[in-house]
Amino acid sequence: MGKAHIDLNNKTILVTGSPGFIGAFLVLRLLKDLQGGTVISFDSMNDYYDPALKEYRLSLIERAAKESPVRHVFLRGSIADKALVDRVFSEYKPSVVVNLAAQAGVRYSIGHPDAYIESNLVGFFNILEACRHHPVEHLIYASSSSVYGGNKKVPFSTDDKTDTPVSLYAATKKADELLAHSYSKLYDIPTTGLRFFTVYGPAGRPDMFYYSATRDLAAGKTIRIFNYGNCKRDFTYIDDITEGVVRVMQGAPEKATGEDGLPVPPHAIYNIGGGAPENLLDFVSVLQDALVRSGILPADYDFAAHRVPVGMQPGDVPVTFADGSGLETDYGFRPSIGIREGLRRFAEWYKEYYKA
């Protein structure tokens, strides 16, 4: 599918889920790169994890905005609030929307299903409806590698079937893809879904393994090694994610008319992953090296005594592995930051942030 080029300069860009992890880094990148326009951060600042971390990210954004020619506006609220979403679109009239607001976490979805329905389904529906009534040049939305479920074929391709989710979180993300496709078909809205693969880095989500393991090891606690270490994950560093999203923002699926006289849905889906799955035990070893090198842990720390092998957790899958050829072909994007460099940067940030 061809792409319609979008110059992001001097546009109004709405980023939901900022100051969440990916959203905050995306907004920081836009404030740094763009020469003018308005960037809107929209987030509920809920307490799924420590809100202080979101406040910290927001402070980084506000500091960067003072040095940027781009206007930044922060709006506190939930995308599940339809009236508020409509008011934001009516008042600011965004040209490009990046919907990153979502209830994340596979395991959390088992005990808190209503949070996923509210944010990932009702909230995303509200965004689609707003884009319908206030037309945008491009809607980019977050999907997830979780949609591949127990797929045993690797690497995961966007051509693979994704109709057997193993968690409610995955099911809501698959539903988002279907909703976006139908709105693209019915209302000719250019939409692009991005299936993120295990994003990590400084100021990340505390519920992610690398972050919680660091916290537990620094406190002298044990860490659980899921599936007895027989897991592989396609870890993707936050700067690579940000680069990929920015490139996609600038190329919307082209509009076209089919033989039936109706719109050919301007909708595309891409994997965005590191492209090199890492064994969980290897990842832990690299993380431990980074924690020692940064001074968070002493060189004689007994790592073996602080590992507890456990079985597979409900909703988890043994392997994730992205086929990223679509993004490379259409946008020239290829991830470049490996886990050794990425975890070193995370450990250095962690030491500074927590004064570890």
| DSSP structure string for 179-214 | HHHHHHHHH---EEEEEE--EE-TT--TTSHHHHHH
Q: Can you tell me whether residue 317 is helix, strand or coil?
A: coil
- Asked if residues 315 and 110 have their Cβ atoms less than 8 Å apart, the reply is yes
With 0-12 CB in 10 A as exposed, 13-18 as middle and 19+ as buried, what is 175?
middle
66: left (phi over 0), alpha (psi -120 to 50) or beta: alpha
Contact indicator for 336, 242 with CB cutoff of 8 Å: no
- Contact between 205 and 104 under an 8 Å Cβ cutoff? The reply is yes
Half-sphere exposure of 123 (CA within 13 A, CB side): 25
Rounded-to-10 torsion of CA 223, 145, 154, 343: -40
* Omega within 30 of 0 (cis) for the link into 253: no
Which residue of the set 169, 183, 211, 270 is catalytic?
Answer: 169
For 40, list phi and psi in degrees, rounded to 5: -110, 125
Active-site annotation holds for 169 = yes
CA dihedral 294, 295, 300, 303 (to 10 degrees): -60
Task: Give the C-alpha separation, 96 to 8, whole Å.
Answer: 8
Phi and psi angles of residue 22, each rounded to the nearest 5 degrees, phi first: -65, -40
Using a 10 angstrom Cβ sphere, with 0-12 exposed, 13-18 middle and 19 or more buried, the burial of residue 328 is: middle
Residues with catalytic roles: 169
